[in-house]
Each structure stands twice: as C-alpha cells, then as structure tokens.
Amino acid sequence: MHRLFTLREHDHGAYPFDQVEVADFRPAFAEAIAEKRSEVEAIIQQTDAPTFANTIVALERSGAKLEWLSGIFYNLLHAEATDELMEISQELSPELSALSSYILLSEGLFARIRSVWEERDQLKLDLEDARLLQRTYESFSESGALLPEDKKERLREVKRELSELALTFGQNNLKEQARFRLWVEDDAQVTGLPESALGVARELAKKEDKPHGYLFTLAAPSFFPFMQHCPDASLREEMYRAKMSLGAVEGEFDNRDVIRRLANLRLELAQLLGHTTFASKVLTKRMAGSPEAVDRLLDELLEAYLPVAKEELAKVEAFAREAGETKALQPWDWSYWAEQYKKAFYELDEEELRPYFELSRVSTAIFSLATRLYGIHFSERTDLPVYHPDVHTYEVQDRDGSYLGLLYTDFFPREGKQSGAWMNNLQEQYHTASGEDHRPHIVLVMNFTQPVGDRPALLTPGEVRTFLHEFGHALHGMLAQARYSSLSGTNVVRDFVELPSQLMENWLDQREWLQSFAQHYQTAEALPDSLIERMERARHFLVGYAACRQLSFGYLDMAWHTITEPLPEGLDTKAFEEKAWAKAVLLPASPAPCQMSTTFGHIFSGGYSAGYYGYKWAEVLDADAFAAFQQEGIFSSKTAQRFRDCILSQGDREDAEVLYERFRGQAPSIEALLRRDGIERR
C-alpha cells in the first residue's frame, strides 16, 4: 500500500497536507485506479445472484482510495498548481476516462444492475435506496451501456478526448493569464484607483524587483478595480484586450480549436446516445427538462429586463458625454463610467465601504448568521495541516455539539491559483458500511483583495456577496444527511445547486444583518445609516444590464450546445459568439480577437455545459425562497429549519421540484425576482 493511504492520523480524517509530496501522486493514483477496477471486477465476477446490496451498494462504495486521493490532488491542481501537477493531471485524464468507460460500458456489470432494476417493485426499498437504484440504472443506460460494441468503442474515444480537451482548456487559460503584466510607472495614469488596488500593485511590483510604480495582473483583485477606476482609457483598453483575448490568439495557449472540438465531440456523444443535441441530452436530467424550456425562461427574462437595461445604458452614456467623453462607450469604458455615474447619482463608492468590511469580521458575521439560522458553530483548528499558509481550518458542530465537518477557507490570489471563487467537497458526506456517518470536508476558495502592509484584508460589498454565495454551497455540503455519497450535499441537478448559494446573498441587502457586524476597522464606528441608505438606493443600479449580461452567457452556452451538425475547421469562434448572444448584448462588439468563449471555463471545463442558464433559473428560486424568510422573519430559525430539512440536508434523495415545493408550499414563478429587482412588466 502506498504511504499516502497510511497517513490518516489527524482528527476527523483531515488530509495530511503537510506530508504530501508531488512525487506521491503518480504511484498513489496507479494503486487507487487499479483497486477501483479490481473492486468493480469482483462485483461482475461474483456468482451470487444480483441484489441491491451486492451490486448497487457495492458499486457505490467502491473506489474509496481513489475518491480520497482525488480530493487532495484536484484541490491542489486548482488552488496551488505547479507545472508538475498539471503534467500529472494530463497523464491522469486518459486513465480516469478509461476507468469510467470500463465501468459504464461493462456488459456484465450493467446486466447485474438491470436485473436489480427490473425487480425493483418486489424489493420494497426505502426512498433513498430506491433513488440510488434509479440513479445508478440511469447513469448506465444513458451513458451507452445498451450500445453495440462498435459504438461503445467510439464512445470511449470521445469521452477520453473530451476529458483531455477540457483539461487543456483550463490550463491554457491559467498559463496564459499568469504571463500578463501591466507595468505603470506614472502616478497620473492611475490617479483615481483606490488605495486598496494601488497597494496590491505596489506590492506586486516589489516582488518582481520593481521598487517604484505599479504592477497589474489579470487576477480579479487587480483587474476589476482597475477597469472600474482607472481614468486612462488606453490602459483600460490594454487590460481589457489582454483579458478578453486569452485563448483567442495563435500560439501554444490558443483555445479556439479546443472549444470547437469540445462542442463537436459533445454533439457526437449526444447523438451516439440517441439525442439530437448535447443540450437535449443534458437537460433530460435538469429541472428545466428541455432546451425549449431554457429558451422560454431566458426570453421571458430578457423581455422583462431589456427595456430597463437600455434605459440604464442611455443614462450612463449621456453622463459620460456630459463629463467630456467624446467617443461612443466601448466595452473597456463601461465599468469605469458606470462607477462614475454611481458615485455622482447615488453618492456611493464601494471603496468607501471597504473599511467597514474587514475580512475577519465578515467571516465571523457569516458564521454567526449560520449559527442564528441553523444553530451550527465554527471553531478554528490551528493544529490541522493545510496546503498553504493562507488557508484556515474550522471544525463545525451542530446545535447539540455533534461534529458536522471540516471547513477550509482559502481567500487570496497567488501564483498557480485559478481565478474566480468556488466551493469543493474534499470529502463527501455518506454512511460507511458499518453505518457510521462520515462527515464532509469542504473548502471555500476565493480571490479577495489581500492585506497590504499593516492594513488587513478589506472587502467590497461585491466580495462579501461572493463569500455569502460560496458559503451557501458549503452549507449545502455541510448539512447533508444522505447515506450515499453520490446523493449527498451538492450532488444535485445543476439548475438546483445554485439555490442555496444564491439564497445566502440576500442577507447582504438586509439592514438588520449589516448593522450587526459592519464597523470601521480602525475606529470601530458602525456603518453609518447614511451609507446604508445609499446602498439601499443603489440596490437596483444596473439591475437590467446585469441581468442581460447573465442572459447573454446563457444564450452563448446554449448556442454551443444546440448545434445539430459538427462545426467546421477554421470556425470563426468570435463571429459564432456574436451571433449567439446578439439579442442580449448592449455594448458594441469587442474588437478581434477579443471574445468570451475561449475563457468561458464554466461551460468548457467547469461542468456547466448546457447549464449556465441555471444561475438565472436558481435566481428565480432564491428570490421566491427568500420571500418566505421575509414573510416569516429574515432570521427565523423555524423557516431556516424547514429549508434545512427540505433542501440542505436532502441532496438528491428526491427530485428538486418535489423538495422545493415541500419547502415553499407552492411552485416558483419569476414574480418574486421581478419584485426584488424593482422590475415592472411592460
């Protein structure tokens, strides 16, 4: 047995990050993959008649070593990547794809699963056992188990290439983004940027042996403040072009043919399995159900929000002209002039709010909100190993003191860390064969503005919202109460998984919650009522534009995944993109080669292919769900307990529609979302 599998000596099975070496991964994965294959082969070869226990449950519990090892490896790959880790991931991709195909396309294994499935009415299974049997049978029957051997062989090849291309896509973006540097020496060019951004830029410059001036990168805490506040349009354009041309220029990191091949292979996979498009295949297992239902939602929302967005655009353009802007606003101008408009008409600058959102106080406030709602408690554990000094670990306990899981937080950008924010389950919640409740280990990864000098990390309200969002995912994983890991926590349909995360964002707009913790990090002065009032007045600022932007991403995703014929070599991916989202885009088209598709990680490497609409779908749900809290009290433990019982603890034990209506007592509609956003139908 490889040494990695003998190191679990920490409390609650915490990962031995302090003892893991990169050289361990190749041999450890070889052992774990071989063991998973051996365990599956044993299920196939047994002579006993197929039963729920010896086939369905045995398959569910196989591969424990591989799951445990993957939890370490893929977290490091995304949050602490090195060239060697990326090289190993490329080597692993075909091996893991081959293992998946071996299992899902095994005639012997599927014969046993189908035998149990056909006897399901006589088995008298409880709700969760029946769900596991259903999901297992569907995963095989809908993944090609019934295909003839020649089509199975092609399916294996398609899946292998898809996994390799998705990995290549993400690593191309990570490597190319890491190469970009914008060096600014003239203070006048960055006058107006907040000190938080300038401080980070000065620190970056010093780290690269540039004692004077500023160094800006494409990481979120550098890029977004720059685009919002830099008065120099030429520098904004340079930053924008660099960000939006990632993967879109000829060279070693060119993703244009990668995304064409991904779209074509997904189409081929879908058609091998009897579907006309990849989206139609994916959506059979989503709340939406079909591409037509997705289109109806996107179009209905666009009809409601587009008139508002056009009015917002006209107001900002008029403001920019009055302020001396002589040219039509370009994509790199929008964030800057929108921010200037907000300062002028709402007297609100998010940078003015930063001092009131010191990260440690925000963390405490969010943990305390979970305590108030759900009765859970967080205690920091400094004795458990972490993979980077920035990472903090918390033991989470339920209201009765019982152990719920471990939560890791990783807040700041660094070399080798992907941009964005996400939640990962390092270890799932499930019941072991002996009946023990194995509690989850969860990591929250962000890219917040980091501390500079003596100043602590200070967040914008937008960053606080991101924290709340990812924390909602963490609650979904942390409060899981399933027996089987494949049905546990966030393992739900993609257009339902964003409900708990987006629901948590609502508390940022509640005065009572803000007043409970927001205070100046130096003076301890409470967030003034005047600032809260300005935040409330600006709550609907650019709500139409923001909605149309999200809808445009949904249209783009669906365009890539509703093709019915392969896309040709040499496809102009920019032209494809512009046509796909034209009806929801308000600003002029970005100059070539700028485009979003070549960096659209959510749909090309992140699991949201034919599913990006799910953010808007879940936004409808979260607005409707929060209306229940508003009716019954935003801190109502009774309402929160019902949400926990009906949704957070349930995972995928029942259909999402059933779970939601059990909580809410009614089906959702877009009306609550429109009310929250101040939108009147026209």
- Rounded to an integer, what distance in angstroms lies between the CA atom of residue 411 and that of residue 392? 9
Residue 433 near residue 487, CB atoms below 8 Å: no
Burial grade of 496 (CB within 10 A; 0-12, 13-18, 19 or more): buried
| β-bridge partners, 393 | 408
Candidates 306, 313, 347; CA nearest to 547 is 306
Q: Residue 480: left if φ>0, alpha if ψ -120 to 50, beta else—which one?
A: beta
Q: Which of 161, 176, 428, 470 is catalytic?
A: 470
DSSP character string of 512-567 = HHHHTT-B-TTT-PBPPHHHHHHHHHTTTTTHHHHHHHHHHHHHHHHHHHS-SSPP
C-alpha atoms less than 13 angstroms from C-alpha of 211 in its C-beta half-sphere: 0
Measure Cα distances from 549 to 218, 307, 539 in Å: 20, 13, 17
Query: Hey, how many other C-beta atoms are within 10 angstroms of the C-beta on 47?
Result: 4
- Rounded to an integer, what distance in angstroms lies between the CA atom of residue 419 and that of residue 413? 7
Residue 431 near residue 483, CB atoms below 8 Å: yes
Q: Is omega for the bond preceding 593 within 30 degrees of 0, making it cis? A: yes
| β-bridge partners, 379 | 395
- Rounded to an integer, what distance in angstroms lies between the CA atom of residue 220 and that of residue 197? 11
Structural element, H or E, at residue 393:
strand 392-397
- Rounded to an integer, what distance in angstroms lies between the CA atom of residue 646 and that of residue 397? 20
DSSP character string of 632-659 = H-TT-HHHHHHHIIIIITTTTSS-HHHH
Q: Tell me how far apart the 2 most distant CA atoms of the chain are, in Å.
A: 82
Residue 449 near residue 358, CB atoms below 8 Å: no
What is the chain's percent helix, strand, coil content, to nearest 5? 60, 5, 35
Burial grade of 208 (CB within 10 A; 0-12, 13-18, 19 or more): exposed
Q: What angle do CA 478, 65, 68 make, to 5 degrees?
A: 30
Whether 470 sits among the annotated catalytic residues: the reply is yes
- Rounded to an integer, what distance in angstroms lies between the CA atom of residue 255 and that of residue 368? 43
Residue 323 near residue 340, CB atoms below 8 Å: yes
- Rounded to an integer, what distance in angstroms lies between the CA atom of residue 654 and that of residue 428? 18
315 CB contacts (<8 Å, ≥6 apart)?
Answer: 341
DSSP character string of 88-151 = HHHHHHHHHHHHHHHHHT-HHHHHHHHHHHHTHHHH---HHHHHHHHHHHHHHHTTTTTS-HHH
Let me know how many helices (H) and strands (E) the chain has, helices first: 28, 9
Residue 364 near residue 346, CB atoms below 8 Å: no
Q: What residues are annotated to the active site?
A: 470
